[in-house]
Structure 1
Amino acid sequence: MLEVGTVVGERFRVLRALGKGGMGAVFEAEQLGLGRHVALKVMHPHIASAPGFTERFQREAQVLARLRHPGTVEVYDYGLDSGFLFLAMELVSGETVDSLVMREGSLPVSRAVGLAVQVLEVLEAAHALGIIHRDLKPANLFLEPHPGGERVKVLDFGLAALSGELHARLTQEGMSVGTPGFMSPEQMRGRQTDGRSDLYSLGCVLYELLTGFPPFPVMSSAEVVAAHLYKPVPSFHEVRPDLSLPERLESLVRKAMEKLPESRPPDAASMRQELLAVLSEPVGPPPLPKKRGEGKKSERGLGRMQHEVPVPKPVAGGAPVAVLAPRHQDAAANTLVMSLAACGFQAWVASETEPWHAFGALLVVADGRESLAWARTLAARPGSPPVLLCGPADDWDLVTGALEGGLFDFVPLPLDPMDLTRKVSRAQKLKR
């Protein structure tokens, strides 16, 4: 999107890329003159070009600048430069909750609830200003070292809070502003959202902190959406029968994840008080020991800010991965195989005559609408493993066609190692 060395707004020199999401990309940049390093968030051009979005961006940036709380990042500046809308914010160090759960699995009750309480304190301040986050997830919660213990920083208010008016229009066009595994039902439907939508997302986060799994694991993106819209939340015991968690805590988590907003806690303050009451109660016996990394999630973001998160390795013994591509896409297929190998998978370029039962997943390199039809044909074959289509991230017709056409998932190009790993690992688990 932006190259290293580019100067944005005549005052921010791009130093390196930190990550990207559905609304924009994040860079580390130097503020010229002050020598201060900042997190520079730049909106994707197709988002920034929406009618009236520049004006709304400016209004929201001014509101965000007033959101001063120890659990948020400070907003320094914003502007428009050569068609790029940007927001300069405080650069933080530490690790995301996403990477913490990836490494450790479920957390002790006191730690998980304590982190959720900190997030709710931030939400109270934000909601008082009329700011709804709309993309709460472990990858947007940052753990920063602090003398009094770890402090949670809630990230991405600068992008997610801008999505309110835009969200309904993008949803109608087949785009999703947010992360399916953590979005409220009303947000998925493109309806008006309020603070209770954030409480639903936090309920999903707390569910994962306590069990090591998101509420609906090992599903394709389309199935996750359907589950959040219609299916009841699995009990903690269904997901982790080895854990003993307080019934009152599970009841509160399930209440936060009610399908109807009016059935959830009325506001962040109420939910925070209920969680504090749970903390004051005696906790049951400790969970059984678990292997390092047990309970890894199926829905993850990049989880990077000022550090690099290690790419997770797939489950030991996972079946090999086949890559199929049109003849003139041999280079793309070979690149995909190398990327899979770098992520710890056995993978090779296969032919249509390969014995499908031997593979744990099949990745098809997209080359127009014909590839979508081809992938659907392959997925319909008897014994075929889960089929994932790989194509341009901005080709929304291809994305929606893949998810609605019976394919297991869509892998956007250029590849993100974390995204590639979680989706292929999830496919292998389903195959087993």
Structure 2
Amino acid sequence: MSGRQVGGRYVLERKIAGGGMGAIWAARDPQLGRAVAIKLTTSHRLSSDAARRQFEKEAKAIAQFHHPNVVQIHDFGLDGDEPYIVMELLEGEDLESRLKRRERLPPAHVSQLLTQVARALAAAHTANIVHRDLKPANLFIARIDGQEVLKILDFGLVRLKSRSPDITPESMDGMVGTLRYMSPEQIRGDHELDHRSDLWSIAVVIFRALTGKFPFTLDSVGPLLNGTFFPPDTLASSLVPDLGPEVDRFFSRALHPDPAQRFQSAQEMAAVFASIVTAGRRQAAKILVVDDEPDVEMLLRQAFRRQIRDSVYELSFASDGEDALEKVRQNPDLDVILTDINMPRMDGLEFLSRVGEVNPLVKVIIVSAYSDMTNIRTAMNRGAYDFLTKPLDFQDLEATLSKTLKHVAEARQMMRSIEENALLRMFVQSTVLERLRPLTQGPDSLAGEKTEATVVFVRLQDFTPVVRQIPPEAVIQRLNEHFQVFLPELTSRNGAVDRFLGDAVRVVFRSTDHLRQAMEACLAAREQLRSLAASRGGASPALHGLCIGLDSGDVVLGGLGSPELGRLDYTMLGEAVDNSARLASVASPGEILVTDRLRQRVSLEFECLNAGARILPGSNVPSPVHDVLGRRGTAFSPTSGSDVTQTQDGATPPYRGARAAGSGR
């Protein structure tokens, strides 16, 4: 067939691959002067007019589908009765060929391939395209600009989820797919098959790529379909022990017979697998050897050849202390340094006294033939972690390295924890951190607790328009300026910042006298903003008034989220939480709104002004609300109607005061 013209245009040159469903040829497009690949499909697959219409519809849809990880379709048509598809010509090999040659691939390599597959499938599934025949032979590893780029092949005769109801699977091509990679619903011929069938197929591909085996035998297909067998038949970790139980749990989900129990997207699947690979990846310990003897490097590389080959150790070498200091500066991730004492320019003891200034976490082991007590004491006083004598006992050296590396790992973990805690305390108030500590005791502590508290919700008036008018950094700066003005008044009275919500903040009071403290804190915050606005005028950061809602009652506190995914949020639930936010949403600048129920509780101690009936979010019925003016017996100047309070020097604060009784929103 070489030299045959297809579609009146393309000239076949050589056969690349073939099978029962057709063949792929390298060809030439004389019209554009480029090399292409042509897939010739057996004509029996389009034996009816309806099937041909469906072929044309799907080929057009996929030809318009552009993605770097999908082989590009240039053209399609019929050459007589034989359908053909013209695609980009790729150089490389398919995954089937690679697996036949290498049997198994490292998890990191599989993760890279899966990430590329997931990108393509995410785009295809979004376009309602289901492949239905994902297998190693249809995953091509192309060499492009010196890099390996995975491309999904055979997107020419897929199934669109939005297919016409009169087109049945049998009218197209019968049971499409390769049995060992087909999902249970695909084997059953389920007409409602969706993108999760492709995810099953990819899971089988991954299992085979990692282990060299299939997750279940052909004998298991019957039990799989009737629900009496759940793959994998053999755990991946039993075939390759280094994979571990996390990989087994991954496959128990990815290969679940019920699509609802699988991963729900290709991206989710790839992300979970990548996180497992990253967590299990063992990084080589970096060891610097400092010695001026020329044969030391050869001896150590020979003694630790297995550890170097398996990426357990990564050795580097320096000839003296000065050379070593420069290498420490260039490699801040060094773990351990082995150093001799007697060396030119800078000896080991002087190096030991200076290395801590460059890297305080690296541990130094002295290796010297001069093991007199003076050298040992000097070395230990200058911070040496251990002292070994020459000639070296390599078993003793390996044991010492193992002990030292464990200590380094623990020290670095502690340092990370200190840094993370310092960062965490910037985002979470210390009182909240105290409440989080019980969560470290295990899952039972996630049950939650009920307590009485007062919740304050504070929002800034008319801040949203500002976001559209000024640069992002200015938005954050202005918000923080406001928070820095009034939040200290709340937190200094035992209020704990629960969370920031854009231009609003929620604060909880839980002390014995929480309601009174919350009321006084809100009054102080309002007064602080008023004073600052009056004294600084237009230059004040307090350009937006405070709209405050306050309520008190039982709240439920606890960690909500998914411990399995490592994501929890310590939060509050309850009527007081909801009411405070609703009241703040209808408050005018300068108002501290409470419900009528709460007004009655505080009426003996605080003066409140009837602020009318307002419709709170989530309700169609107006509710009476009250503005807290101040403590009884304290001088205050409530405003009324639409009047604006004036400061002593005549300046007008940028907010209105409390509304008169009976006034509307």
Partner of 1:179: 178
Task: For residues 145-201 of structure 1, give each alpha carbon's deviation from its aligned partner in whole angstroms, at most 9, with x where no partner exists.
Answer: 245742211111113447977673269x9x531100100111111112211000000
Structure label with greater radius of gyration: 2
Shift of 1:79: 1.3
Aligned pairs for 1:193-272 (under 5 A) are 193-217=193-217, 219=218, 223=219, 225-226=221-222, 228-229=224-225, 230=227, 231-234=229-232, 237=235, 240-272=238-270
Partner of 1:125: 123
Aligned pairs for 1:1-400 (under 5 A) are 3-21=1-19, 23-147=21-145, 149-161=147-159, 168-169=169-170, 175-191=174-190, 192-217=192-217, 219=218, 223=219, 225-226=221-222, 228-229=224-225, 230=227, 231-234=229-232, 237=235, 240-283=238-281
Q: Is residue 134–residue 181 contact of structure 2 (8 Å, CA) maintained in 1?
A: yes
Shift of 1:242: 4.7
Amino acid corresponding to residue 45 of structure 2 in structure 1? I
Shift of 1:55: 1.3
Deviates more, 1:54-63 or 1:19-28: 19-28
Q: Is residue 237–residue 245 contact of structure 2 (8 Å, CA) maintained in 1?
A: no
Count, aligned residues: 279
TM-score, with length taken from structure 2: 0.39
Percent of aligned pairs sharing the same letter: 35
Shift of 1:213: 0.9
Task: For residues 354-403 of structure 1, give each alpha carbon's deviation from its aligned partner in whole angstroms, at most 9, with x where no partner exists.
Answer: xxxxxxxxxxxxxxxxxxxxxxxxxxxxxxxxxxxxxxxxxxxxxxxxxx
Partner of 2:87, secondary structure, is: strand
Partner of 2:133, secondary structure, is: coil
Partner of 2:24, secondary structure, is: strand
Partner of 1:281, secondary structure, is: helix
Q: Distance in 2 between matches of 1:89 and 1:168?
A: 25
Amino acid corresponding to residue 56 of structure 2 in structure 1? Q
**Unmatched tracts of structure 2, length 5 or more:** 285-305, 307-665
Q: Distance in 1 between matches of 2:252 and 2:2?
A: 45
Task: For residues 309-329 of structure 1, give each alpha carbon's deviation from its aligned partner in whole angstroms, at most 9, with x where no partner exists.
Answer: xxxxxxxxxxxxxxxxxxxxx
Shift of 1:274: 1.5
Relative CO higher for 1 or 2, CA cutoff 8 Å, sep ≥ 6? Answer: 1
**C-alpha spacing 1:57/1:168, structure 2 compared with 1 (3 Å):** closer
Partner of 1:291: none
Aligned pairs for 1:395-414 (under 5 A) are none
Shift of 1:228: 4.7
**C-alpha spacing 1:195/1:133, structure 2 compared with 1 (3 Å):** same
**C-alpha spacing 1:259/1:167, structure 2 compared with 1 (3 Å):** farther
Partner of 2:600: none
Shift of 1:234: 3.3
TM-score, with length taken from structure 1: 0.59
Amino acid corresponding to residue 201 of structure 1 in structure 2? S
**C-alpha spacing 1:189/1:241, structure 2 compared with 1 (3 Å):** closer
Partner of 2:98, secondary structure, is: helix
Q: Is residue 58–residue 158 contact of structure 2 (8 Å, CA) maintained in 1?
A: no
Partner of 2:242, secondary structure, is: coil
Q: Is residue 117–residue 275 contact of structure 1 (8 Å, CA) maintained in 2?
A: no
Partner of 1:176, secondary structure, is: coil
Amino acid corresponding to residue 256 of structure 1 in structure 2? A
Q: Distance in 1 between matches of 2:102 and 2:59?
A: 36
Amino acid corresponding to residue 120 of structure 2 in structure 1? V
C-alpha root-mean-square deviation of aligned residues, in Å? 2.8
Shift of 1:204: 0.3
Partner of 1:54, secondary structure, is: helix
**Unmatched tracts of structure 1, length 5 or more:** 289-432
Amino acid corresponding to residue 169 of structure 1 in structure 2? E
Shift of 1:108: 1.1
Partner of 1:26, secondary structure, is: strand
Shift of 1:258: 0.9
Amino acid corresponding to residue 130 of structure 2 in structure 1? I
Shift of 1:6: 1.9
Q: Distance in 1 between matches of 2:37 and 2:146?
A: 25
Shift of 1:96: 1.2
Q: Is residue 142–residue 150 contact of structure 2 (8 Å, CA) maintained in 1?
A: yes
**C-alpha spacing 1:44/1:126, structure 2 compared with 1 (3 Å):** same
Partner of 1:157, secondary structure, is: coil
Shift of 1:70: 1.1
**C-alpha spacing 1:69/1:254, structure 2 compared with 1 (3 Å):** same
Amino acid corresponding to residue 226 of structure 1 in structure 2? G
**C-alpha spacing 1:49/1:241, structure 2 compared with 1 (3 Å):** closer
Q: Is residue 58–residue 157 contact of structure 2 (8 Å, CA) maintained in 1?
A: no
Amino acid corresponding to residue 170 of structure 2 in structure 1? R
Structure number with higher strand proportion:
2
Q: Distance in 2 between matches of 1:54 and 1:44?
A: 13
Q: Is residue 237–residue 247 contact of structure 2 (8 Å, CA) maintained in 1?
A: no
Q: Distance in 2 between matches of 1:108 and 1:167?
A: 41
Amino acid corresponding to residue 259 of structure 2 in structure 1? P
Amino acid corresponding to residue 4 of structure 1 in structure 2? S
Amino acid corresponding to residue 175 of structure 2 in structure 1? S
Partner of 1:194, secondary structure, is: coil
Q: Is residue 246–residue 284 contact of structure 1 (8 Å, CA) maintained in 2?
A: no
Q: Is residue 118–residue 270 contact of structure 2 (8 Å, CA) maintained in 1?
A: yes
Q: Distance in 2 between matches of 1:237 and 1:265?
A: 19
**C-alpha spacing 1:151/1:246, structure 2 compared with 1 (3 Å):** farther
Shift of 1:236: 5.2
Amino acid corresponding to residue 207 of structure 2 in structure 1? Y
Q: Is residue 50–residue 171 contact of structure 2 (8 Å, CA) maintained in 1?
A: no
Partner of 1:17, secondary structure, is: strand
